[in-house]
Structure 1
Amino acid sequence: MQRRELLAALGGALALSTKGLQAQPSVTRLLVGATPGGGTDIVARALAQELSTRMGRQFIVDNRPGAAGNIAAQAVAKAQPDGATLLLSYTSHVINPSLYDKLPFDTVRDFTPIAGVASLPGILVAHPALPANTLPELIALAKASPGKLNIAIAGLGSSNHLAGEVLKREAGLQITSVPYKGTGPALQEVVAGQIELVISGVASVQQLLKAGKVKALAVTSLQRVAEFPQVPTIAETLPGFDFSSWYGLFGPAGMDAAETQRLAQAVQAALQSPALRERFRHEGLIPMASGQAEFGSFVQSEMARWAKIVSTTGAKAE
């Protein structure tokens, strides 16, 4: 072999051996379509800390609130597919295609599903003065006074809003839905006694429950929540009722397969961390054990599921 040919061969081998390393950015921005301090932000920051340790590069949470998560999603859809920009998304990511007439991106074609991170049951809570302490008692009260009770909505078209609409439909209740711009204002109105009911993520409401400022009537998941095992599920009264929210990690379409796999494996390893699992348990979160392919299939099925719910309830975007 001539010297020139030998150098060319060595150069090609070196390029192949470093291809995987070149695909890894030095810093990754984790975009979140919500304000700091909310459930999505809590999950993103906990995950970013674990991934920074496990992947040897910095993961920075970048909050881009607004438009039910669509602002953050659009930024990721338009980003370079090099792993430097990712999306930590909420259930709204798969609800929005049915909720909005037109989105500036395609929820399937413009993203790479990487991994499911955690699911979050909702919990139906009431002002302590409400003369109902269980879901059957609430149903009886609402039927005795149709149209008199109100339920706060922390964002039209959110998973908790749709869960409330399905609850009313399946139980045959006339309860007025009152929209608010976020979970905080909705909960404040219930605490103040201006609104009787709200469905919220466990993470957002658990301190209010422990302080006795609201009371729990039922949870929206099929299984009871570890932090509040005494609270029944809605499914115990209305069989099959299951409306947990979830968080997942996405990248732009066209990401390098090796980088995507590294990220998916790092997420799965992070979810086995005792510190992260304890943090999630404290927040009412349940780690998801879905791999990359499984999460991609889950996203597709969730889009179809929520499309039917949006159609049935007639929900519209703000």
Structure 2
Amino acid sequence: MFLKFLLRRILYVIPMLLITTLIVYSFILLIPGDPALTLLGENATPEKIAQLRQQLGLDQSIISQYFDWLINALKGDLGRSVFTGQYVHEAVIERLAVTFQLVVVAMIISIFGGMFFAITSTFFPNSWIDYVSRFFGTLGTALPNFWLAMLLILFFSLHLGWVPATGFTSITENPFEFFKGILLPAISLGAVGTAQITRHLRSSLMEVMSADYVRTAYSKGVNRWQAILKHGIQNAMLPVVTTIGILFGHLLGATVVIETVFAIPGIGQLAVNSVLQHDFTMLQGVVLIMIVMVILINFITDIVYALLDPRIEY
């Protein structure tokens, strides 16, 4: 039965991937600006512009351009950058390694921070700790991440000088400098996730802790802390798993802003530069990789959810 469920999810992913890439590809081509005109300059003649557009395939219909691009993408060829001539897949893989490190640290902060606030809030219900946790849960959702990023830079980098304001060092090069440089971007990126997990997990825990089987555990001498760890966490994690899956896509998209603020050479900054330079080939490759990663994470989330909850019908 599980294999049947798995096959159904795979068959669902394929058309979803095709539809989303077609929509995004079409919108990218509708961005104002002409790559041919940008390359040749304002003084270029219409004949040269038309010739270059034909070489780049920009004179074809959107559907024709999309299917040509899709066929090449399935072969592993995402094309070359219009401006640098670099292979798109090489540039994306290089930048993706940077973004992946940032997103992983932000996810760790979101998950452990959210679990800490939710568990302490459940352990001390209606106390000042509970109110503080709920306050930060609301505040983290309401604060724009770019505004929080600038506040963190202003205080911890410019005022205290504890961590650098911009730049990035890979964890494989210097772990200490990596954590110093990644701390503020990861907190800015993971604040929303921490707030979401706090709210969802606290709500689930409060519901589980009022269930009959937990009351039975109390009658057998189990204290509140043991009840939360043995009964509450496992049964309350299902909504959190869904939240984590959705959160990954949100964090990946938010890197566009955070990497720009902190001057981190990741895939988000590459997307911004591609838009500014009208480098549609590079932008299409970046968007494709982001779409594939988000759909893949959602697919994994569905599988994990089904494994955690046997009540789900395969």
TM range (shorter): under 0.3
Q: If the length of structure 1 is used for normalisation, what is the TM-score?
A: 0.26
Larger Rg: 2
Q: Which has the higher strand share?
A: 1
